Amino acid sequence: MPGMAEAPKSQMPARRKARKRALDVLFEADLRDLPVEEVLRAYLRRLEQPRPEHLGYAIGLVEGVDAHLDRIDELIASYAEGWTIDRMPVVDRNLARIAVYELLYVDEIDDAVAITEAVELARQMSTDDSPRFLNGMLARIAEFTTH
């Protein structure tokens, strides 16, 4: 409405941008079979100044996924019914990795938010089947990891 003060920006858009940046780095490393740290360093060198505020969260996601990749991929492989991790689209595989990292290791992110964000990015960037697939798999992982 005219004359009303603009509502403060929520964390959601910044975190979504951070997840998108993390996805860019993880996707490139996965697709090109390069070390994540190398791709992250190159990505950071290409960024213009001033760097976005959400960059710290994006770097934390990339480094966290990389540090815990074996455990994350083990869970994805266990709960991805009908799919091997290698057969998943690269976007889906890396969105799942980010979400599973948040489910397991980022306490300030609610499970539902981690899942919703992965599903929303899949809706924007992957196949028509990806949102439903990720939602089901991540919900099963969340249920497993909270019990």
Domains in the chain with CATH codes: 11-145 (1.10.940.10)
Mean residue pLDDT of the chain comes to 90
**Taking the model in full, what pTM does it have?**
0.89
If you average pLDDT over residues 104-115, what whole number do you get?
Answer: 95
CA atoms of 128 and 45, how far apart (whole Å): 34
pLDDT of residue 86: 92
* pLDDT band with cut points at 50, 70 and 90 for residue 147: low
CA atoms of 113 and 17, how far apart (whole Å): 14
Here the tokens at position 130 are: 């990806």
